Chain A
């Protein structure tokens, strides 16, 4: 009986802990703004020396996009829309007499592929006071802070500071010119380009360009499993390139999911085995007392009355081990929460009540099934 309780505690603790752990670190998977992004791959065509000389196009044609979309590994596909007009962005701080600017380009992707909070991510061309929200790649900021600013004795910029600066964005093309305000609202780890909202891009391309929609040179796709060899194979056969980094993150995510699934499975296995041991030992007990059970039945005891003590024994041992498991799970969680906290600051160390509901459901299920099995075993002696 002690052996059972011990085994069951271990099994149930592993189940509860792995479920709770999964729930605790789930934000890492689902939150867009996290290092372990969902499984996205940005695809481009290889820029080869020969291609440059022969002026071979690096753009994706409609049929190529369609084909990629039809691949089994591709859940969702979005195209990068390039800007078809000239962009010049300038920054001036009058008081210090600083004035500088640069030629730029913009790209846009559908919103669902963006890993930054989309709170201010909108553009309305009818507004009088038009502001263009801009998302920069995080490594641009790093390049400036740790490369450029360092060597020129310029002040380093935090993300918040950059957000406060308003840029003057000059848009030229199609014989028209307009100056709008631009505002950096966030930094992306996933997408390596200067992003603007799709609404702005559609409006600006129409206004400042005579050209028709150009084919995209970059495509972002969402996949289930970036380690899928089919992707590599397909990319190689088509001469596409996947932007690195994203693939590695995705592998980590996938690996973690597999790992948690494995742990959950082991926990379930141990629990099932321990439950089986308990049931077997109770059956053995019943077997040992077959004569006595038979006598009680002949004296007029119902199978229900006879089964009750055995069921109580089962309920009590199971309840004890579940309670201990919950306590152990809580202690272990308090330990790992310290380790994970830096990654997920929002993590609450409160007692997770939902896990108790889950454990109770599990307990009730186990007790009901075992109760029925015990009763059946008693009836068999009739």
Chain B
């Protein structure tokens, strides 16, 4: 997958609001691979909606969204499964971790599916993000900031062309946020993919190619 294109896309819920100042909604915009995007917005502007549309989770928009040249409205459940395994990774705003499973099990549930990372690699990330002693703890017992880091590690446990990070550092301190940026950039050097980050205030520090207002 080389690009994601939005053509006059608008959430159904925004149809009535005529005056919309947005770089993305109701525009033609293309997210390219190997570029890093930051989407800034106030709460309720549709960040998570955008992520849901791109991940096939919701379809309540008007306009057209295409992956390369194919309209995503024509994709079926099987296609989305393939895309979620191989082409698009996401950190959900609400993380979608399994609270009764340990941090490591939460990672394995994804990694067992893709066989993408070695255990050593995963443990190394845990250590760098200050989670070493929490590997075997149920995720439900961790703070939201710690859970965000677990979700971040999980998002790297698959091949992808684009990664969607929906407010990934909302509950992180500066050090951990920086470490997250470092890890992401290391991966960005090694593999080619596009990065789409959303933010309502605290930004993940990255060398952004585009900064847009939603």
Using a CB–CB cutoff of 8 Å, the interface residues on chain A facing chain B are: 292, 295-303, 379, 382
Contact = CB atoms under 8 A, between A and B. Distances in A.
Given A296-B109, A301-B113, A302-B81, 13 more contacts: A292-B98, A295-B98, A298-B55, A298-B90, A298-B92, A299-B84, A299-B96, A299-B109, A299-B113, A300-B85, A300-B110, A302-B78, A303-B77
A382 B57 CA distance: 8
B75 to A, nearest CB: 12
B22 interface: no
B158 interface: yes
A300 B98 contact: no
Contact of B96 (A295, A300, A302): A295
Contacts of A295: 96-98
Contacts of A301: 81, 113
Interface in B50-78: 55, 57, 77-78
B27 interface: no
Contacts of A379: 77
Contacts of B110: 299-300
Contacts of A292: 98
Contacts of B78: 302
Contact of A300 (B57, B92, B97, B158): B158
Interface in B86-110: 90, 92, 96-98, 109-110
Listed from nearest, the 7 A-B pairs whose CB atoms lie closest are A300-B85, A300-B84, A295-B96, A302-B81, A299-B110, A382-B77, A300-B81
27 contacts: A292-B98, A295-B96, A295-B97, A296-B109, A297-B81, A298-B55, A298-B57, A298-B84, A298-B90, A298-B92, A298-B96, A299-B84, A299-B96, A299-B109, A300-B81, A300-B82, A300-B85, A300-B110, A300-B113, A300-B114, A300-B158, A301-B81, A301-B113, A302-B78, A302-B81, A303-B77, A379-B77
B206 to A, nearest CB: 24
Chain B's interface size range is 10 to 19
Nearest to B56: A298
Nearest to B88: A300
B52 to A, nearest CB: 10
Contacts of A296: 109
A300 B80 CA distance: 8
Nearest to B95: A295
A87 B92 CA distance: 106
Nearest to A302: B81
B154 to A, nearest CB: 8
Nearest to A296: B109
Nearest to B84: A300
A296 to B, nearest CB: 8
Contacts of B90: 298
A77 B96 CA distance: 79
B178 to A, nearest CB: 27
A297 B77 CA distance: 9
A379 B77 CA distance: 9
Contacts of B96: 295, 298-299
Nearest to B101: A292
Contacts of A298: 55, 57, 84, 90, 92, 96
Contacts of B82: 300
A301 B85 CA distance: 8
Nearest to B76: A382
Nearest to A382: B77
Nearest to A295: B96
A382 to B, nearest CB: 5
A299 B86 CA distance: 11
A382 B76 CA distance: 11
A303 B84 CA distance: 14
Nearest to A305: B113
Nearest to A379: B77
Contacts of A302: 78, 81
B143 to A, nearest CB: 20
Nearest to A294: B96
A292 B114 CA distance: 19
A296 B90 CA distance: 13
Nearest to B77: A382
Interface centre among A299, A301, A302 (most CB of B within 10 A): A299
Contacts of A299: 84, 96, 109-110, 113
A303 B92 CA distance: 21
Contacts of B158: 300
A298 B166 CA distance: 15
A297 to B, nearest CB: 8
| Central interface residue in A300, A303, A379, by most chain B CB within 10 Å | A300
A65 B113 CA distance: 81
B114 to A, nearest CB: 7
A295 B113 CA distance: 14
A253 B72 CA distance: 68
Contacts of B98: 292, 295
A299 B110 CA distance: 7
A379 B90 CA distance: 22
Contacts of A303: 77
A294 to B, nearest CB: 8
A298 B110 CA distance: 10
A296 B85 CA distance: 11
Interface string B166-205: 0000000000000000000000000000000000000000
B130 to A, nearest CB: 24
